Amino acid sequence: MTISQASANVCTFSELNTNKQKTSVSEEDKEICLPGTDYVIKSQVSLAAYTSYRVGGPAQFCVVPREIEALQASVKYAKTHGLPVTVMGAGSNLLVSDSGLSGLVIVTRHLRHSQFDSQTGLLTVAAGEPIPGLAWDIAERGWQGFEWAVGIPGTVGGAVVMNAGAHNSCMADFLVSVQVLSSDGTLETLNREQLGYSYRTSRLQGSDRIVTQATLQLQPGADPAQVIATTKEHKQHRLSTQPYHLPSCGSVFRNPKPYAAGWLIEQTGLKGYQIGKAQVAQRHANFIVNSGGASACDIFNLIRHIQEQVQDRWSIWLEPEVKMIGEFQPVS
């Protein structure tokens, strides 16, 4: 959509709010052009299409920027209008409530670019780059260090924030620095030490900083055929041990060391257990799959049920790895 086309639909945020109170149907077609860009913020956008669970209600407002300028304009717009911001990458670690999210959802998956310095092995990639594609790309160049990541269906931004990991490696092992956008619109570079990394966490979780790009250190001197073979093996291992064919968010719970969450759930007899259309996967008990038409509420209730059953049996309260956002009503 061009600026002039979008302008035909422009209205102020307060007008939109008023319209919402009158009728949510009339809000559906509203689009707001971001000042200085040809991007539009849309209202009442279903988030189910943006999550790997394929569940979630509408975002009050949503924007999918392709350039950093559009991202900056989105953040500025939210600040000016007092809108809370939620950032989503590929939505592969999110459970969004059925009632949706108020404020502005910024989806970063279309922020794409990468630059590789073959002298130093430093790779700088935008937040929206998909991790699996990146892993294949690096392997095909014959550089080592990212084979473990091939089965993680997230973006670079989400992986940096979550400290995503597999096969005894994680983002923090290869990360040199990240560029972040603060809510005041400034860009800043943070090095790994400033990010407070540990198992599946970083200081970026719960902060209002948006990752715009990351710089990773890759290792030279590998046999390209071997790197590709290892990447393929990791992918194959995933496909044979995890239910990749059904919508999920990967592992639902953090592993309460020394135990594996999946083992505890399986030993509690919950494999295959179902609430609505949400089911504990037969192939891997730490996965909850959407077996077709599940609601976020089904998944949330199943998470609670698992936590209670495992607590009763093992006196261990499983902590979710999945980020639950929006309103959920626990069943008592």
Ligand X SMILES: Cc1cc2nc3c(=O)[nH]c(=O)nc-3n(C[C@H](O)[C@H](O)[C@H](O)COP(=O)(O)OP(=O)(O)OC[C@H]3O[C@@H](n4cnc5c(N)ncnc54)[C@H](O)[C@@H]3O)c2cc1C
Catalytic residues: 200, 251, 321
Cβ–Cβ < 8 Å for 60, 27: no
Please tell me whether residue 177 binds ligand X under the rule CB under 6 A.
Answer: no
Which C-beta is closer to ligand X: that of 192 or that of 323?
A: 323
The answer to whether 244 contacts ligand X (rule: CB under 6 A) is yes
Total residues interacting with ligand X, rule: CB under 6 A: 32
Contacts of 189 (CB under 8 A, 6+ apart): 177, 178, 179, 180
| Least gap, CB of 165 to ligand X (angstroms) | 5
| Interaction between residue 162 and ligand X (CB under 6 A) | yes
CA angle, corner 224, sides to 222 and 227, nearest 5? 80
CB of 161: closest distance to ligand X in angstroms?
A: 4
For the chain, how are helix, strand and coil distributed in percent, rounded to 5? 35, 25, 40
Regarding 159 and contact with ligand X (CB under 6 A), the answer is yes
Asked whether position 153 contacts ligand X by CB under 6 A, the answer is: yes
Please state the closest distance from residue 204 (CB atom) to ligand X, in A: 6
3-state secondary structure of 159: helix
Q: Which amino acid is at 175?
A: L
Q: Which residues fall within 8 angstroms of residue 288, CB to CB, at 6 or more apart? A: 248, 249, 252, 278, 279, 280, 281, 299, 302, 303
Q: Does 268 bind ligand X (CB under 6 A)?
A: no
One of 63, 90, 96, 222 touching ligand X (CB under 6 A): 90
Q: Given candidates 132, 142, 165, 276, which one binds ligand X under the rule CB under 6 A? A: 165
**Contacts of residue 308, Cβ cutoff 8 Å, sequence gap at least 6:** none
**Is 55 in contact with 295 (CB distance < 8 Å)?**
yes
157 lies in the binding site for ligand X (CB under 6 A): yes
- Find the binder of ligand X among 145, 154, 262, 320 (CB under 6 A): 154
Spatial contact of 157 and 195, defined as CB atoms under 8 Å apart: no
The residues in 42-81 that bind ligand X, with binding defined as CB under 6 A, are: 52
| Distance, CA of 117 to chain centre | 27
Question: 43 vs 93, which CB is nearer to ligand X?
Answer: 93
**Token representation of residue 152:** 């993680």
Asked if 96 and 55 touch (Cβ cutoff 8 Å), the reply is yes
Q: Rounded to the nearest whole angstrom, what is the least distance from the CB of residue 22 to ligand X in the complex?
A: 31
Would you tell me how many other CB atoms lie within 10 Å of the CB of residue 115? 11
Given candidates 43, 60, 97, 155, which one binds ligand X under the rule CB under 6 A?
A: 155
320 binds ligand X, rule: CB under 6 A: no
Q: Does 256 bind ligand X (CB under 6 A)?
A: no
Closer CB to ligand X, residue 57 or residue 250?
A: 250
Site residues (CB under 6 A) for ligand X?
52, 87-94, 108, 127, 151-155, 157-159, 161-162, 164-166, 204, 210-211, 244, 248-250, 323
